[in-house]
Amino acid sequence: MASPRPTIALVVGGLLAAGLAGTTAASARAGDGSPVATPPPPALLSCPARYDGTEDRPVVPTYDAPDGFDPGDALAPAQTPRRALVCLYAAGTNAEPAPPPRPLSDELELTDGLAQVATDLSGAPESGSFDGCGEVGGPLTHQLVGLEYPTGTVWVSVTDEANACVLGSNGDFTTDGAVGRQVAKAGADGGWVVPTQGERPVCGATGAVGRAGVDSELVPADPVALWVCRVDTDVPGRSSGTFAVLRADRPRLLAALRALPTRAASGDLLCVDDTADRWQVEARYERGAPVVLDVTTGACGPGGVVSNGALEADVSDEVVALLRRTTTQP
């Protein structure tokens, strides 16, 4: 039988330090010297010592929402938080949940991908019913996500569960369980870096690719390595493997790619003729999914095209020369 719509509780009391501490009002003076009230700074985030919610009754600490944000409209603001804290509360398994209260089991701060946090949480769909879990067994971990902004804070309760079926909530707005899996993945990676372009073949293998920023830079952020492979079907011998870009060439290749004037990608690079060279360039990062560039010479544009799936550019002679050297090294 389906459980009733969850009651969303706001937890109060001394046990939950986050969001509950009072603040001291500051003051300033106007041009005429008279005092002018200024808003108090938001309380610093810290993890509550325990989580009292259940699978059908998520709870969050009290908080003062930032200016302009109504917690009934979305799970979190669309603006980028300046800090994101994740508090973990192990709760047994979905078959045998541990009864509340669950003590704090771990905490971590997300330092990467905070803009993506805003995009994904603010865009989470509204959902108001919990029908129970159990199709797939596995561990159950409740997670409180504290988000800090210049004028306030928001707390969100989400759960990492194998069926992604436990509702998330900020106390007013509820969403489905998919966000809980995203938070768990971000915690494992150390940052909120969710693949943005799904899975695709890359140099003979298939993997998830894409990350925030591919719509503004061909190679966003700071990759730790660049790998290149030829994808010409008729290229024999050593040039048909996958090669790491030489350390001395890596900054040159990145600079050459970032110097190219970009435009919105027009789609897959299908205008390749028999005279074209074709490569895939995989930009790998310390955490999260890579960015993959498709590069071709020949018929596509004046001399060739490079595309990351969201942006494309006419390729330069320097880029082509560096890729040819990389994929013909002994």
DSSP letter for each residue of 105-133:
-EEEEE-S-HHHHHHHHHTPPB-------
Pairing, β 242-244 against β 225-230: antiparallel
pLDDT for 299? 59
Alpha-carbon span 296 to 81, nearest angstrom? 39
Alpha-carbon span 65 to 46, nearest angstrom? 16
Read off the pLDDT of residues 37-64 as tens digits, 9 standing for 90 and up: 555 554 579 999 999 998 888 999 999 9
Residues 63 and 153 both lie in one domain = yes
**3-state secondary structure at position 138:** coil
| Average pLDDT in the chain | 80
Least confident span in 16-30, 143-157, 315-329: 16-30
Least confident span in 3-12, 97-106, 195-204: 3-12
Pairing, β 50-51 against β 106-110: unpaired
Please choose, from the candidates 229, 223, 231, 230, the residue with its C-alpha nearest in 3D space to the C-alpha of residue 247: 223
Identify the domain boundary among 161, 189, 217. 189
pLDDT for 119? 82
Alpha-carbon span 99 to 213, nearest angstrom? 42
H-helix segments, the chain: 114-122, 178-189, 250-258, 317-326
At residue 26 the predicted structure's pLDDT band, cuts being 50, 70 and 90, is: very low
- pLDDT top residue among 98 and 113: 98
Q: What pTM did the predictor assign?
A: 0.56
pLDDT for 149? 96
pLDDT for 17? 34
Identify the domain boundary among 189, 214, 240. 189
User: Does 29 have pLDDT greater than 70?
Assistant: no
User: Does 201 have pLDDT greater than 70?
Assistant: yes
Residues 46 and 106 both lie in one domain = yes
Whether residue 2 lies inside any domain: the answer is no
Whether residue 4 lies inside any domain: the answer is no
Residues 221 and 139 both lie in one domain = no
User: Does 21 have pLDDT greater than 70?
Assistant: no
Share of residues in the chain with pLDDT > 70 (%): 77
Domain that holds residue 276: 199-326
Residues 268 and 226 both lie in one domain = yes
Residues 63 and 144 both lie in one domain = yes
Identify the domain boundary among 189, 212, 243. 189
Pairing, β 59-61 against β 9-11: parallel
At residue 32 the predicted structure's pLDDT band, cuts being 50, 70 and 90, is: low
Residues 132 and 83 both lie in one domain = yes
Half-sphere exposure of residue 83: CA atoms within 13 angstroms, side-chain side = 17
Task: Answer for the pair 311, 265: CB distance below 8 angstroms, yes or no.
Answer: yes
Read off the pLDDT of residues 240-289 as tens digits, 9 standing for 90 and up: 578 889 888 999 999 999 999 999 998 765 555 667 888 999 999 876 78
User: Does 234 have pLDDT greater than 60?
Assistant: no
What letter represents residue 257's amino acid?
Answer: L
pLDDT for 89? 97
Contacts of 172 (CB under 8 A, 6+ apart): 8, 71, 72
**3-state secondary structure at position 39:** coil
